[in-house]
């Protein structure tokens, strides 16, 4: 009788440990299944536009911190391999609403949303502009300035 009680206690302890470890494991990140486009990638331009053209919602692309500054989270814009700071965002339509001044939190993009980013220097011929989905290190789009 005592052995049966001990055996049942051991089974419950192992089940509890297994459940706790599964619940606390990080959630797997998935590949982004939508399409974002880059516009204004031309010689002399200093504003790039990112548009969500179709597909899945892009979750948590940027974070607006408590000091009301944007920071990249799941998305990164790069020019010649250097990350363009999200603080340079001048227009951000997130889920159909203006996210500028929208308060702290994470902002996502759905079809039709856009981000305008002011570059510190204008683009020149040969520059490469890329958009990366950070959770899977996935290159979404890359354009080279050709004209």
87: left (phi over 0), alpha (psi -120 to 50) or beta: alpha
Report the C-alpha gap between 107 and 42 in whole angstroms. 28
Structurally, what CATH architecture does the domain formed by 35-144 represent? Sandwich (2.60)
Q: What is the mean pLDDT of residues 53-81?
A: 91
What is the reported pTM?
Answer: 0.76
| Separation between Cα atoms, residue 50 and residue 67, nearest integer Å | 24
Q: Give pLDDT tens digits for 9-27.
A: 999 999 988 888 777 655 5
pLDDT band, very low/low/confident/very high, at 83 (cuts 50, 70, 90): very high
């Amino acid at each position: 009788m005592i052995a049966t009680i001990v055996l049942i206690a051991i089974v419950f302890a192992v089940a509890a440990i297994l459940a706790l470890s599964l619940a606390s494991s990080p959630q797997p990140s998935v590949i982004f299944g939508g399409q974002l486009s880059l516009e204004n990638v031309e010689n002399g331009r200093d504003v790039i536009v990112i548009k969500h053209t179709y597909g899945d919602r892009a979750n948590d692309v940027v974070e607006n911190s408590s000091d009301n500054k944007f920071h990249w989270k799941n998305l990164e814009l790069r020019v010649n391999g250097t990350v363009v700071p999200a603080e340079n965002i001048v227009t951000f339509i997130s889920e159909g609403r203006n996210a500028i001044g929208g308060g702290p939190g994470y902002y996502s993009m759905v079809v039709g949303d856009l981000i305008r980013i002011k570059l510190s220097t204008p683009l020149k011929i040969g520059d490469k502009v890329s958009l990366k989905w950070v959770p899977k290190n996935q290159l979404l789009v890359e354009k080279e300035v050709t004209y």
